[in-house]
Amino acid sequence: MTNQVKSVMIVDDNKIDNFFNERVIKKNDASWIVIAKESPYDALDYLKAGEQIPDVIFLDVNMPGMSGWDFIEEYKKLAISHNDVLIVIFTCNHKDPDDETLELVKGISCHFSPKPLTIEILEQVQEKYSSLK
């Protein structure tokens, strides 16, 4: 990324994916702070505490217990500015989101992306995040 964001949160139940994604972010000097959470519950608790609201959240959709979609529903209820945070939704579906999916993310800034995280995806995210500011 050419313009580093202050902080990034990764929400994924897979420790290996978290490690890999964090490494890609740090290796490409994409963020000063990387916060990895292995469950949506932990991520929501962190966000509710309000210590460091991330600029970008990388969110896996398929997680046990609480899915990424469930996370988004709860995230929308938080008393934070949803327009200032970009949520990158990792999906295995490479098609454009359907109407139901678009309704779920209505009111938040989001970007849909396949896994794994790459430098190209980081560049797309940076461009999308820059357009929010």
The CATH number of residue 47's host domain is: 3.40.50.2300
Higher pLDDT, 97 or 107: 107
Please state the pTM of the whole predicted model: 0.90
Domain total for the chain?
1
Three-state SS sequence of the chain: CCCCEEEEEEECCCHHHHHHHHHHHHHCCCEEEEEEECCHHHHHHHHHHCCCCCCEEEEECCCCCCCHHHHHHHHCCCCCCCCCCEEEEEECCCCCCCHHHHHHCCCCEEEEEECCCCHHHHHHHHHHHHHHC
Q: Give residue-wise pLDDT tens across range 9-51.
A: 999 999 999 999 999 999 988 888 999 999 999 999 999 998 7
Residue-range definition of the domain harbouring residue 102:
5-132
- Residue 65 pLDDT: 93
Q: Give residue-wise pLDDT tens across range 62-102.
A: 999 999 999 999 999 998 877 789 999 998 765 666 667 77
